[in-house]
């Protein structure tokens, strides 16, 4: 792969990762609720999900999904249903008083109930892996950066590492920014509002995903 081609993909990956989407919303929501360190597990899951999408698209399975109306519809409905379920779960997520009190104010802090590491990882993975919009985008974008006269898998590996590394940095940035807002959103009422805002956005994204159309063949 030529250097200028890689730099073009590098720039495109930053734009893709920084653009609003379900992964960004999830990073913000988990960062605000659980802090950066615990959100890292979610983000690692996102990275693995993105890797799967990139490999699927690069291997040509993504093109098959675009060509098959039934296959694309199944993936689309599953992805939309997952986002709607995730949003509903976030909407109804309970908040609980921490048993520890702030040393300065002696006021109990409030936090959202923390899911286990496996659940956070699975949530991140499925958020990216079940998103057909990601597959559609990769099928459209990847061919522009792949030289058909050079080994495919070596090029895919380089593009995968680049894309996932940028995704990890950006999502940790979102989580960090959200975690800085914890001190201003520490009441039970504020956390409940936060859950409903992020939950509502995820459900809206799930609904919008149902409107995604298969490319005309």
Average pLDDT, integer, range 2-26:
80
Give the pTM: 0.65
**Banded model confidence at residue 168, pLDDT cuts 50, 70, 90:** very high
Average pLDDT estimate for 122-128: 89
DSSP 100-166: EE-TTT--EEEEEPPPPHHHHHHHHHHHHHT-HHHHHHHHHHGGGG--TTS-HHHHHHHHHHHHHHH
Q: Residue 80's pLDDT is what? A: 74
Q: CA-CA distance, 89 to 82, in Å (whole number)?
A: 10
| The pLDDT of residue 161 is above 60 | yes
pLDDT at position 170 is 92
CA–CA dist 111, 91 (Å, integer): 15
Sign of CA dihedral 206, 211, 212, 217: positive
- Residues 135-163: what's their mean pLDDT? 76
- The pLDDT value recorded for residue 66 is 59
CA 159 vs CA 50, 80, 155: distances in Å: 11, 27, 6
What does the alpha-carbon distance between residue 65 and residue 132 come to, in Å, rounded to a whole number? 9
Q: What is the CA radius of gyration of the chain?
A: 19
> Average model confidence (pLDDT) for the chain?
75
Predicted pLDDT at 45:
93
Percent of the chain with pLDDT over 90: 12
């Amino acid at each position: 792969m030529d250097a200028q081609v890689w730099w073009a993909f590098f720039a495109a990956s930053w734009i893709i990762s920084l653009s609003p989407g379900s992964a960004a919303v999830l990073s913000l929501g988990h960062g605000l609720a659980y802090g950066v360190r615990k959100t890292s597990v979610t983000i690692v899951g996102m990275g693995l999900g993105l890797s799967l999408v990139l490999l699927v698209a690069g291997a040509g399975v993504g093109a098959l999904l675009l060509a098959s109306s039934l296959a694309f519809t199944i993936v689309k409905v599953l992805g939309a249903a997952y986002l709607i379920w995730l949003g509903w779960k976030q909407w109804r997520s309970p908040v609980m008083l921490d048993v520890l009190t702030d040393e300065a104010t002696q006021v109990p802090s409030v936090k959202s109930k923390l899911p286990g590491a496996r659940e956070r990882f699975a949530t991140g993975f499925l958020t990216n892996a079940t998103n057909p919009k990601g597959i559609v985008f990769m099928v459209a974008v990847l061919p522009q950066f792949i030289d058909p006269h050079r080994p495919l898998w070596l090029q895919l590996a380089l593009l995968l590492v680049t894309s996932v590394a940028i995704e990890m940095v950006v999502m940790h940035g979102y989580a960090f920014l959200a975690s800085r807002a914890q001190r201003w959103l520490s009441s039970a009422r504020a956390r409940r509002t936060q859950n409903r805002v992020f939950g509502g956005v995820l459900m809206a994204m799930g609904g919008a995903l149902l409107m995604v159309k298969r490319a005309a063949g």
